[in-house]
Amino acid sequence: DVKVTQSSRYLVKRTGEKVFLECVQDMDHENMFWYRQDPGLGLRLIYFSYDVKMKEKGDIPEGYSVSREKKERFSLILESASTNQTSMYLCASSSQGAKGYTFGSGTRLTVV
Amino acid sequence: DAKTTQPNSMESNEEEPVHLPCNHSTISGTDYIHWYRQLPSQGPEYVIHGLTSNVNNRMASLAIAEDRKSSTLILHRATLRDAAVYYCILRNRERSYGKLTFGQGTILTVHP
């Protein structure tokens, strides 16, 4: 079964910490995405990448950065975590063209 | 990006068909219609997509209006496991590497 794997299901971090969320896909997909999901706001795109070392800002990139050194891995970085970054983070990947995305199970991050 | 409009919620009984509507009156000729669903505490799951013709797969059917301004996701026999939030999304194959913009979706409740 093809998969998008997120390294942690639940994570608790302190305000000001640097946080790394890791995502790995085994489908040789070109595109990878990071979303966050909050009640009442739905899924919002943070960053995406269409190739190794390439990245594009999504709708809410402030406070985040990303890294894609290898095709299969896309990391989301919170440089200095804040309480308003408490959220469910979802990684997804897709091939070029019209095909569907495959999502990971999500990482629920709590910043205290 | 062209937007979609879905009812906030719908209810169904188990083993009955469910028709989930979606309006997309500003759809462009290069927009694919995608459907995803999200079960509780999971990432979204790809269901089906289409361009102009009706589509069937093992999960559901997608009926697309002749003018493409609306579509309907059809679950032929709802089960309790189909209770989820269903998202109708337009994916433009020519822009922004196919990124998806999620709306609020339709919450489907299935009664035993």
Mean of pLDDT values over A100-110? 94
Q: Residues A51-72: pLDDT tens digits?
A: 998 999 999 999 999 999 999 9
What letter would DSSP give residue B53? S
Nearest to A100 among B49, B51, B103 (CB): B49
Q: Which residue of A has its CA nearest to B8?
A: A40
Contact B99 A45 (CB under 8 A): yes
**Angstroms from A20 CA to nearest CA on chain B:** 19
B91 — pLDDT class (breaks 50, 70, 90)? confident
CB pairs under 8 A between A and B: 58
**Angstroms from B46 CA to nearest CA on chain A:** 6
Give me the amino acid identity at B62.
L
Contact A42 B51 (CB under 8 A): no
CA nearest to B80, candidates B36, B20, B10, B15: B15
- Output the pLDDT for position B99: 75
Q: Where are the beta strands (DSSP E) in chain A?
A: 4-6, 10-13, 19-25, 31-38, 42-51, 54-57, 64-70, 73-78, 87-94, 102-103, 107-111
Highest mean pLDDT among A30-34, A56-60, A86-90: A86-90
Q: Count CB atoms within 10 A of the CB of residue A14.
A: 9
Query: For an interface test with B, which of A2, A6, A43 has the most B Cβ atoms less than 10 Å from its Cβ?
Result: A43
- Output the pLDDT for position B95: 62
Mean of pLDDT values over A40-61? 92
Mean of pLDDT values over B48-52? 93
- Output the pLDDT for position B3: 87
Partners of residue B34 in chain A, C-beta under 8 Å = 100
**Angstroms from B55 CA to nearest CA on chain A:** 13
Partners of residue A100 in chain B, C-beta under 8 Å = 34, 36, 46-47, 49
CB of A15 closer than 8 Å to CB of A82: yes
Q: Residues B8-42: pLDDT tens digits?
A: 999 999 999 999 999 999 998 888 999 999 998 89
Interface contact A48, partner B, CB < 8 A: yes
Q: How far apart are CA B13 and CA B27, in angstroms?
A: 32
